[in-house]
Chains A and B, each alone.
Chain A
Amino acid sequence: DARVTQTPRHKVTEMGQEVTLRCKPISGHDYLFWYRQTMMRGLELLIYFNNNVPIDDSGMPEDRFSAKMPNASFSTLKIQPSEPRDSAVYFCASTDRTNEKLFFGSGTQLSVL
């Protein structure tokens, strides 16, 4: 598939609930990134994987956040428990070694009430 697919597109949940965001990278891409966009901080990198292995998770805000990539075609970002300040748009992106650019999904708009 020639695009990054993210589900769900929108998620509204209550504080304290677990949230799982999903991403399917472009086939053949071996790098996967999770970004978060907020008004205050803009686009910030949370974590990225290479060949399904987490390389840098220094952007993950706290232990409530976790990310996995069980295989080359699927990744999840989980927030447990969620808090109102987690409300943001979460983007997944993928690329490979030959590309100078990232390919972003359409994002998941998360609202934690």
Chain B
Amino acid sequence: DQQVKQNSPSLSVQEGRISILNCDYTNSMFDYFLWYKKYPAEGPTFLISISSIKDKNEDGRFTVFLNKSAKHLSLHIVPSQPGDSAVYFCAAPPINSGGSNYKLTFGKGTLLTVNP
């Protein structure tokens, strides 16, 4: 029973365009979310996070939006670059963990390919 779901296994976009990666969650009590990026033959690396008290968090070309009523979050990359090609995971820590990232539940990931 996946509590964090990424329903699109892959996404392909043109360089310069917007990439939108989606993530749904089942437990409305989740209060913190993280996105990780993973290149082939490397471990995941932290990208951006958002607390449930916000509906948006921005860091350069990366913005995460949180829609609590829909239990949905999305990662926007604008403009997309070929170097953004990677697998993107959304993740959530246990409920009431105070933002602690211990025991993260990860989605299965979305492979983003940005074509030159």
Residues of A participating in the B interface, judged by any CB pair closer than 8 Å: 4, 31, 33, 41-45, 48, 55-56, 91, 93, 95, 99-102, 104-107
Contacts and interface: CB of A to CB of B under 8 A. Distances in A.
B44 A43 contact: yes
Q: State the majority secondary structure of interface residues on B.
A: loop
A45 B41 contact: no
Interface string B81-114: 0000000010000000001011111111100000
Contacts, number: 51
Contacts of B44: 43, 91, 102, 104
B103 A106 contact: no
Interface in B53-97: 89
A40 to B, nearest CB: 9
B34 A101 contact: yes
Given A100-B49, A102-B46, A43 B89 contact: yes
A100 B106 contact: no
Contact of A91 (B43, B99, B103, B105): B43
Nearest to B99: A100
